[in-house]
């Protein structure tokens, strides 16, 4: 069980007010459905890059972040600088982490993929060297190092996909914490409204002009193929572009 520090406010220098545009584009029209007003939030600046190398940092506290399902950890380097990182599972308050080419294989340390042994779990993985981690950042997720082949390292993602990454991309050891997030029960509609999520109306409850499932006597929409409000298949069809640049890096697709 993770001990969260809920009484203390987040680090002021590492926060900023997060603007909410309610799913609307620059013209003011809704471009993302089911989003509305929410409670005021502060964005926590997370260090996905882990570019402060060869300096140890101590975990001061573990905090809740309203902008993601994973917890975050406040770390302080020996020179006094503080940063937020994603909290890996089993990283306790008072623990030490470091970002280095020659760091130990322990939870919270950041290393190049080429320096990580086969079978180790990692998260916060870069796609390009120096870009900062953009993959495997959700609560409870991890990727496993499967093999090393020339300039690439093969990782198996939580979805089951087997993918190649450049060996000089960096990653963090361990899996993302807050594994119990998927078992959380919302409890009432009001909690979703505070999170900025508006209600979703079933297609069968709408009229024929608004949705392909609409109309008919009673609940007559049962048995038809699932479709979006624009008539496109909603399940089973591959939506990934066949011309996407990274298709050559995928060795095995995830399950349908």
Domains and CATH numbers, the chain: 12-180 (2.30.30.30)
The structure's pTM equals 0.87
Task: Please determine, for residue 3, whether its predicted confidence score (pLDDT) is greater than 70.
Answer: no
Structure tokens that stand for 90 in this block: 């089993």
Residue 2 pLDDT greater than 70, yes or no: no
Query: Is 223 a residue whose pLDDT tops 80?
Result: no
Residue 220 vs residue 105, higher pLDDT: 105
The reported pLDDT for the residue numbered 221 is 66
Residue range 226-253: mean pLDDT, rounded: 89
> pLDDT tens, 201-222?
999 899 999 999 998 888 876 6
Question: How much is the average pLDDT of 63-70?
Answer: 95
| Bigger pLDDT: 225 vs 153 | 153
Residue 252's pLDDT band (boundaries 50, 70, 90)? Answer: very high
Mean pLDDT of the chain: 92
């Amino acid at each position: 069980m993770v001990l969260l520090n809920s009484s203390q406010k987040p680090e002021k220098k590492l926060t900023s007010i997060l603007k909410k545009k309610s799913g609307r584009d620059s013209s003011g029209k809704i471009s993302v459905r089911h989003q509305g007003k929410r409670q005021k939030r502060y964005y926590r600046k997370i260090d996905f890059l882990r570019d402060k190398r060869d300096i140890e940092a101590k975990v001061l506290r573990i905090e809740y972040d309203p902008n993601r399902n994973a917890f975050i950890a406040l770390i302080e380097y020996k020179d006094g600088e503080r940063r937020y990182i994603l909290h890996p599972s089993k990283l306790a308050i008072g623990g030490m982490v470091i970002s280095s080419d020659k760091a130990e294989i322990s939870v919270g340390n950041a290393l190049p993929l080429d320096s990580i042994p086969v079978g180790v779990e990692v998260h916060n993985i870069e796609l390009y060297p120096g870009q900062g981690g953009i993959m495997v950042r959700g609560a409870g997720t991890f990727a496993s190092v499967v093999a090393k082949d020339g300039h690439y390292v093969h990782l198996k993602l939580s979805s089951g996909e087997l993918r190649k990454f450049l060996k000089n991309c960096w990653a963090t050891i361990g899996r993302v914490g807050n594994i119990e997030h998927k078992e959380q029960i919302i409890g009432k509609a009001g909690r979703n409204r505070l999170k900025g999520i508006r209600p979703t109306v079933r297609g069968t409850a709408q009229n024929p002009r608004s949705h392909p499932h609409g109309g008919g006597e009673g609940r007559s929409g049962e048995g038809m193929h699932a479709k979006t409000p624009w008539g496109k298949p909603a399940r089973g069809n591959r939506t990934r572009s066949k011309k996407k640049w990274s298709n050559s890096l995928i060795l095995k697709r995830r399950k349908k």
